[in-house]
A and B are shown apart, each in its own frame.
Chain A
Amino acid sequence: MNGINKIIGSGIAAMLFFIQLQANGQQLSAYEIVKKADDKLRGEQTGYAEMTMEIIRPTWNRTVAFKSWNMETEYSLVLITGPPKEEGQSFLKRGNDMWNWNPTINRMIKLPPSMLAQGWMGSDFTNDDLLNQSSIVVDYTHTIISEETITGRDCYVIELIPEEDAPVVWGKVILWISKSDYLQLKAEYYDEDEYLVKTETAYEIKTMDGRLIPTRFELIPADKPGNKTIVTMDQVKFNISLSESFFSQQNMQKVR
């Protein structure tokens, strides 16, 4: 059981991360620009991704790789493809129910809601961020504060200040969204005292499945030098043919 919460954490992080990617995505208001960027990867019925997540620390690195299938926000199936110790484990989410399939012991484990609150191996992505991403549209007031060039692309710099009673953890968020394609290329997250907490930067903008998207994300915490989490999208597909039956306990046991 020792490793189990770590593994379960990674599966959940994978699931949530994909949901976040879906949550990330023409003269428009600041609100509309943020909405466009948000819709860039979201708003599709189904999606598939192969991803690698690297945790980089001053004295060590760890990597996990997974495949992820999604349908709306209700259904998700994640298969861990590396490292070998965790390979073959799968996670299924159907509404509020979640399961873990462990091929080593040939067992289905129903996960309690408290597992949802888990992070992964000290990754700089907390589940809280991942879960709250979609609220960047709804929970904040958006203002264009300037324009800057990020990796050769002209960007709007948009300041997000949370609404009075919004359930958000940030005091302020600043987003850099490209003018031409509405790609969110950079984000800075500040706490309530306006101190920078972390910076997320997107790189390697590529066409994947006919859509221009960043395929590499780096998250750097402000107060921990040498710490970094890198997520690489190895493959992405949108609007693939999936039905509810794909998200079954049976498929968890055979998906490859």
Chain B
Amino acid sequence: MLFVFQVYPANLTAQNTINQKWSLDGYLSNMQTILDIDSLNGYWLYQSQFHNRLNLKLYPVSPLLISVGARNRLIFGDMVRMDFSGEYARSLGQEAGWMDLSFNLLEKNSYILNTNIDRLFFQLQLNKLWITVGRQRINWGQTFVWNPNDWFNTYSFFDFDYEERPGSDAVRIQYFTGFTSSAEVAVKLDHDENITAAFLLKMNKWQYDFQLLGGVLAGKDYGIGAGWSGQIRNMGFRGELNYFRPIENFKDTAGLFFASIGLDYIFDNSLMLQFEGLYNQQPEGSDQEDFVDYYQKSLSVKDLSITEWSLFGQVSYPVTPLLTGTLSGMIFPKLRGYFIGPNVTYSLSDNLDFSFVLQVFSGEFSNYEGIDKRRTIHLGFLRFKYNF
């Protein structure tokens, strides 16, 4: 067992970092994945990945910040070995963004080395006005699992190994109107040169954060939205609402409505409970998606779950200060389906963590004959992650 004892160099941090011209941090992880479809007794797909993330920040002159972030992944295992069509390799090299910054540096029969620059922006911090240009993460979410307000990069709850998420190729102008309020405008171009352009107003009142947003989503819909974070007694209470209506046939269509509402509470013994519900209106006559599609594709705020209604619950508890156990679950009523995700994370040292994660998806899907058949997918992950 790796047991690296790390003493954090406190004296280094005691230095004044304000005058430093740059910073570099990141992590290195190794994750083993098994994937099983339908029966645990079948053939498991096995995959392994070394994942290195680097975040570089430069502060060359006073109001300017330059940020570059990259993830480098060495992937090997069955998905690569059995990728005879080259589709898997292509999907890794593919970009959702306008700039093409994902590169398969090496593409061999048994392994792929991919580099993806997912942050590349400069930011001018001019008193109350911030201007950010380039590939950046614009995160407008208020809830924790499904984020209808997160128009620029949606978060996938299942992809726990990539919490940074891809960046948006965008221009963002933020104006801080007060200590806890701001107004901003952001414009993003995606791979197909569709424009997402929106404003966001944020304010704090009655111990609640409120936000209001509106604009154009991916060149196809007009949308408005609102979100909040506050509390009911001691419980966190958050929500996000969206309404989209196609630009084409604006008069003839009713539009689609989306809402997520969540509650969170931490007990005195650190036990944390979270609940969230999502209403995700689906266009009439749309096909039922499969779990595999749901899991893999990059999410859009118009497509946050595979069913119209989804419910989430999670309990998390630090069994010891080093060992945290979490059990997450989702219910997809229309599919008589569920997701169960137990996981444990153990802190091996200040900088090294070990995680064991299971994800089980199950639901009834119509096959080509129109007969409902239960499909169950099992995923298992073992991960060591070293932060630096």
Interface residue ranges, B against A (CB under 8 Å): 5-11, 13-14, 17-18, 20, 25, 27, 125, 128, 130, 136-139, 141-142, 144, 155, 163-165, 176, 178-180, 182, 204, 207-209, 229-231, 233-238, 264-268, 270, 272, 274, 314, 316, 318, 320-322, 324, 326, 343, 345, 347, 350-351, 353, 387-388
Contacts and interface: CB of A to CB of B under 8 A. Distances in A.
Nearest to A53: B10
A117 B164 contact: no
Contacts of A163: none
A97 B27 CA distance: 32
A216 to B, nearest CB: 12
Interface stretch (A34-42, A108-116, A154-162): A108-116
Interface stretch (A99-107, A181-189, A205-213, A217-225): A99-107
A62 B176 contact: no
Given A50-B13, A97-B204, A84 B163 contact: no
Contact of A97 (B5, B180, B388): B180
A52 B265 CA distance: 28
24 contacts: A1-B326, A2-B343, A3-B324, A9-B270, A62-B350, A63-B8, A81-B13, A81-B17, A82-B10, A84-B351, A85-B350, A85-B353, A87-B25, A88-B25, A97-B180, A105-B139, A106-B137, A112-B266, A244-B179, A248-B180, A249-B182, A250-B179, A250-B182, A254-B125
B139 A107 contact: yes
Interface string A46-77: 00001010010100111111000000000000
A106 B138 contact: yes
A68 to B, nearest CB: 13
A2 B265 CA distance: 14
A122 B139 contact: no
B31 to A, nearest CB: 15
A52 B321 contact: no
Given A65-B10, A105-B165, A106-B139, A245 B264 contact: no
Given A110-B229, A112-B264, A254-B125, A96 B207 contact: yes
A122 B351 contact: no
Given A249-B180, A256-B17, A232 B144 contact: no
A5 interface: yes
A235 B316 CA distance: 36
A119 to B, nearest CB: 7
B29 to A, nearest CB: 12
Contact of A249 (B9, B176, B347): B176
A111 B236 contact: yes
A249 B203 CA distance: 11
A57 B13 CA distance: 23
Given A94-B179, A114-B235, A3 B345 contact: yes
Contact of A104 (B164, B236, B264): B164
B314 to A, nearest CB: 7
A43 interface: no
B14 A256 contact: no
